């Protein structure tokens, strides 16, 4: 049975575990807080967050950082809900 | 279905398009109920904006690693939380 | 609807940081979020530390009745000592013994008892750990420098849903007479995940 890209138990990759740790950057803490706040406000829940992450194209999933995946998901879910309008965040970033 | 500690169960062997919390490596595997947890909202529907009701009972199930990874020889146990609607009675 | 992510690359951190900042600003402007809630959430996140989990373990080592209460209902036990992991997700404590060693993973994402341990280390969230913790636990433990005897049953706990697992490691030998604070200092985050033993006393 085919496995979705996030379903990693026994996936079969022999890569050694990289034990390097990094302190969370401010943007990562903020990303986490945004999700927590959206959840507290009832705008987006953890199941939606996970569903959004799981919908990433497999290559992207495997090559983006943890909180980048959260950002992807939040944009997807909030766009679905019409909370974010198309191009709105791009426009804001550009200013 | 409801289960009790000690019941022999099998994780349903089915694919599910869309969000669900049953890992692929455990589908079709046989285990023993170790703990009966509370009920929780159903992630499969809540992930799509629904309420997630009715809540579903969660069970901690004990699997033999040797059976899960057969024919690879792995010793020990795997414990995993599985929702009631992914469990069947095992003969 | 456009959902273009060409500009978000693994290496391009200032761009991602900028985008997250812009997202927060936009959501606050729209009234979807407010600064206070974001701030409160940040404060909570940065205040979570393994010291809380370590206190529970140390108390369990010293007080057998508390140990039992911790195993029965971790949240109630934590509240006794002024720690509130919150009602959700549920935390369950599992104890290691002479013959059973637990190690926790979330193969599907990164579920972790953050309320008692703080944020998970990068390796816990890595694809490699999520892959092999369940399929080759002794190999993974060996990568962390931990070798267990053949007589010890390794139990990998995959936190797939709404429950988070805290490992109560075994009390190290040579720690008689140490008080709770001294014992707690030996309880590392990694020992409460299950990839390491607690520290030995000085």
Q: pLDDT tens, C3-51?
A: 333 333 454 788 999 999 999 999 999 999 999 999 999 999 999 999 9
**Interchain contact, A51 vs B49, CB within 8 Å:** no
Task: Please name the member of A3, A10, A47 whose beta carbon is closest to the beta carbon of B19.
Answer: A47
Structural domain includes residue A18: no
Per the CB < 8 A criterion, the answer to whether B36 and B4 are in contact is yes
What is the ipTM, given to two decimal places? Answer: 0.98
Q: What's the CA gap between B29 and C162, in Å, rounded?
A: 21
- Whole-prediction pTM: 0.95
Q: Which domain holds residue A61?
A: 26-94
Fold category of B8-89 in CATH: SH3 type barrels. (2.30.30)
Q: How confident is the model at residue A31 (pLDDT cuts 50, 70, 90)?
A: very high
Whether residue C126 sits in one domain with residue C158: yes
A-contacting residues in C 135-154 (Cβ below 8 Å) = 135, 140, 143-144
Q: What's the CA gap between C178 and C185, in Å, rounded?
A: 10
Per the CB < 8 A criterion, the answer to whether C53 and C164 are in contact is no
pLDDT 10s digits, C104-135: 999 999 999 999 999 999 999 999 999 999 99
Q: Looking at the 3D structure of chain C, how many domains does it have?
A: 2
Give the mean model confidence (pLDDT) for residues B3-14. 98
Q: Assign residue A89 the CATH number of its domain.
A: 1.10.472.20
B65-79 burial, b for 16+ CB within 10 Å, e for fewer?
beebbeeeebebbbb
pLDDT 10s digits, C81-98: 999 999 999 999 999 999
Mutation choice for A interface testing from C32, C103, C125, C146 by most A CBs within 10 A: C32
Does C25 lie at the interface with A, CB-CB under 8 angstroms? yes
Residue of B nearest to A54 (CA): B19
Q: Looking at the 3D structure of chain A, how many domains does it have?
A: 1
β pairing state of C153-158 and B77-83: parallel
What is residue C71's three-state secondary structure? helix
Structural domain includes residue C184: yes
Q: Give me chain A's average pLDDT, please.
A: 96
Does B26 lie at the interface with A, CB-CB under 8 angstroms? yes
Structural domain includes residue A62: yes
Whether residue C106 sits in one domain with residue C17: no
């Amino acid at each position: 049975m085919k496995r979705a890209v996030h379903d990693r138990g026994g996936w079969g990759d022999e890569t050694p575990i990289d034990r390097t740790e990094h302190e969370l950057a401010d943007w990562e803490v903020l990303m986490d807080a945004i999700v927590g706040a959206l959840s507290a406000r009832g705008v987006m829940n953890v199941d939606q967050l996970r569903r959004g992450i799981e919908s990433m194209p497999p290559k992207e999933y495997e090559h983006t950082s943890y909180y980048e995946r959260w950002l992807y998901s939040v944009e997807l879910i909030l766009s679905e809900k019409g909370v974010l309008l198309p191009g709105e965040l791009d426009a804001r970033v550009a200013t | 279905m409801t289960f009790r500690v000690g019941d022999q169960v099998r994780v349903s062997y089915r694919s599910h398009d869309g969000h669900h919390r049953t890992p692929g490596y455990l589908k079709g595997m046989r285990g023993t109920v170790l703990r009966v947890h509370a009920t929780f909202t159903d992630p499969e529907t809540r992930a799509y904006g629904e309420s997630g009701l009715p809540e579903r009972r969660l069970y901690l199930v004990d699997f033999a690693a040797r059976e899960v990874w057969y024919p690879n020889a792995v010793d020990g146990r795997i414990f995993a939380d599985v929702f009631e609607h992914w469990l069947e009675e095992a003969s | 609807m456009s959902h273009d992510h060409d500009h978000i690359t693994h290496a391009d951190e200032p761009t991602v940081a900028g985008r997250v900042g812009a997202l927060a600003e936009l959501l606050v402007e729209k009234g979807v979020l407010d600064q206070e809630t974001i701030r409160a959430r940040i404060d909570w996140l940065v205040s979570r530390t393994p010291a809380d989990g370590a206190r529970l373990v140390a108390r369990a080592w010293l007080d057998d009745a508390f140990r039992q209460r911790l195993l029965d209902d971790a949240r109630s036990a934590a509240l006794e000592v002024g720690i509130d992991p919150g009602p959700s997700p549920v935390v369950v404590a599992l104890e290691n013994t002479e013959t059973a060693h637990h190690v926790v993973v979330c193969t599907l994402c990164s579920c972790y008892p953050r309320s008692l341990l703080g944020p998970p280390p990068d390796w816990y969230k890595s694809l490699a750990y999520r892959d092999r913790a369940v399929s080759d636990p002794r190999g993974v433990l060996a990568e962390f420098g931990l070798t267990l005897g053949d007589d010890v049953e390794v139990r990998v706990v995959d936190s797939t849903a709404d429950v988070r697992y805290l490992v109560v490691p075994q009390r190290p030998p040579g720690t008689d007479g140490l008080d709770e604070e001294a014992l707690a200092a030996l309880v590392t985050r990694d020992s409460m995940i299950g990839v390491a033993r607690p520290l030995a006393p000085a």
